[in-house]
Structure 1
Amino acid sequence: MVLLQSPVIIIRTDNGTEFKNQVLKEYFNSVGITHQMSSVRTPQQNGVVERRNRTLVEAARTMLIFSRAPFFLWAEAIATACFTQNRSIIHCRFNKTPYELINGRKPDISFLYVFSALCYPKNDREDIGKLGAKGDIGFFIGYSADSCAYRIYNRLDLTYAPSTITKKQPTEGELDLLFEAMYDDYFGGQPSATVENVPPVQELQVRQTSTASTTIANNVPIPTNSSSHAT
């Protein structure tokens, strides 16, 4: 309400205990919000949220399977998918991304990276000793919500590692890999494909080879029946 400077009048949820409890009921009553709940076993009444949740879960599943990351990182994968889609999916009605609709400016996507990208977080602990490793091998799992940093998973724990990945403009292939799962659902097509053109020299060589093969085939002598000439 504060960020958008717009009052919330109605909130619609399902009948989950995380929504249907006394704490939320008292809060909604205190701020004047009407809490509506869909009918039991009728997710169609809350279709927008259900479809959005499915989109995030399918994206997270694809990210985890493609990267071969452990499944206990599912929450990180969903958070990263949500962060990325809020800055990439175009709303058909407004022709803008959700980020642009909320903040009034286009998002900066130059710092986006593919989930599970290899990175090397700096080991700045005080107990590493003189011969201890100054860095560790990890992979990218998301973006920090409260600081300008990336979230990196290593074999010890989840850590924030700011400035461990060199900031550069992503290539076209990296963007295709990043948004590949969303092209069919939201753009109705496939990511940009590189058309391979055959060089003229190579094309000429192929034609010459084909012609030579045809000539050889045509010049093969036809065997004759020589038994009639025997005496």
Structure 2
Amino acid sequence: MVERQFNTKLKSVQSDWGGEFRTLSTLLSSLGIIHRLSCPHTSEQNGIVERRHRHVVETGLTLLAQSHVPQRFWNFVFDKAVYLINPMPSRANSSKSPFELLFNRSPDYSFLRVFGSQCFPHLRPYNKHKMDFRSTPCTFLGYSPTHHGYRCFDPQTERIYIARHVRFNECHFPFAIPPKHTTHGSPSDPYVSSYPTPIQPPLPQNKPPLIHTYHRRQKSPIAASLAANPNRSPPPKTASTTTGTHSTTQTAT
């Protein structure tokens, strides 16, 4: 692939002595390519690859955290991470992306979409009956390596569609669990009605505010004395009579 696509030849390949690379040693030797190995338990001798691996893992975990996609789709997650890293500008390359350095042209970002978001692929060619729906809610799982299209996962049928004509809802993630709003320990009704809109009464304008004045009734001296000494007997009542211009007071016994 390197010889055909970039018109160059590999001279040497460096790796550790992991099991996934041991089978390549014989093939590389037959092609005249030197297979260089790092010392055992010395990952710093292969620092460039180790840092690249860490970049891929951290980018993939970020995609998982944002989209809430289950870990069983990890292969699609890291495939998407590598796809994003290649056209991403890098400070180590003077703000140029690996894609631009390799192909000498700027990458096209119009094809990128938010991973794990809701999508609606055009499924008319897949339908067996004309009354079937033209689309169904799916989850975007990256790009096809062999097609110029999108991977759309249907959670109802566990099927992955590869389609070019897709509508995206990039603010909604189907695998995300919506938060539960509770009121006094019981789940609230998720249905919210927005029609009709309640009409608010108009506020009074240019009217003086209402002032409520409360007058406290004063207690008589006798009531105040009884409140202070509840065991004390009340004083005798008096009856007043008036005859002409003279008044007399009699004590009730």
Q: Structure 2-normalised TM-score?
A: 0.60
- Find the counterpart in structure 2 of residue 7 from structure 1: 9
Q: 1:29 to 1:106 in 2, by over 3 A?
A: same
Q: 1:126 to 1:114 in 2, by over 3 A?
A: closer
Q: Which has the higher helix share?
A: 1
Where does structure 2 lack aligned partners over 5 or more consecutive residues?
Answer: 172-253
- Considering only CA atoms, is the larger Rg found in Structure 1 or Structure 2? 2
Deviation at 1:43, TM superposition (A): 1.4
Equivalent positions of 1:1-231 (< 5 A) are 1-2=2-3, 3-21=5-23, 24-123=24-123, 124-127=125-128, 129-155=129-155, 156-165=158-167
Deviation at 1:158, TM superposition (A): 2.3
Deviations 1:2-55 (A, max 9, x none): 22222111111122211112xx22321222111112222221111111111111
Say if 1:151 and 1:161, in contact at 8 Å, map to a contact too.
yes
Deviation at 1:75, TM superposition (A): 1.2
Deviations 1:78-98 (A, max 9, x none): 111111111113253454210
Say if 1:91 and 1:98, in contact at 8 Å, map to a contact too.
no
Question: The residue matched to 1:120 in structure 2 has which SS?
Answer: strand
Where does structure 1 lack aligned partners over 5 or more consecutive residues?
Answer: 174-231
For 1:49, the aligned partner's letter is: V
Deviations 1:98-121 (A, max 9, x none): 001111101111121111121112
Q: 1:157 to 1:16 in 2, by over 3 A?
A: farther
2:42 and 2:133 mapped to 1: Cα distance?
55
2:44 and 2:86 mapped to 1: Cα distance?
23
Deviation at 1:126, TM superposition (A): 4.6
Say if 2:117 and 2:139, in contact at 8 Å, map to a contact too.
yes
Say if 2:143 and 2:149, in contact at 8 Å, map to a contact too.
yes
1:88 and 1:55 mapped to 2: Cα distance?
12
Question: The residue matched to 2:6 in structure 1 has which SS?
Answer: coil
Deviation at 1:66, TM superposition (A): 1.5
1:130 and 1:163 mapped to 2: Cα distance?
19
Q: Stretches of 4+ moved more than 2 A in 1?
A: 89-95, 122-127, 129-134
- Find the counterpart in structure 1 of residue 244 from structure 2: none
Identity of aligned pairs, percent? 30
1:133 and 1:95 mapped to 2: Cα distance?
46
Say if 2:122 and 2:165, in contact at 8 Å, map to a contact too.
no
The answer to which of 84-93 and 42-51 deviates more is: 84-93
Question: The residue matched to 2:79 in structure 1 has which SS?
Answer: helix
1:99 and 1:17 mapped to 2: Cα distance?
30
Q: Which has the higher strand share?
A: 2
* Cα root mean square deviation, aligned: 2.2
2:108 and 2:6 mapped to 1: Cα distance?
20
Q: Structure 1-normalised TM-score?
A: 0.65
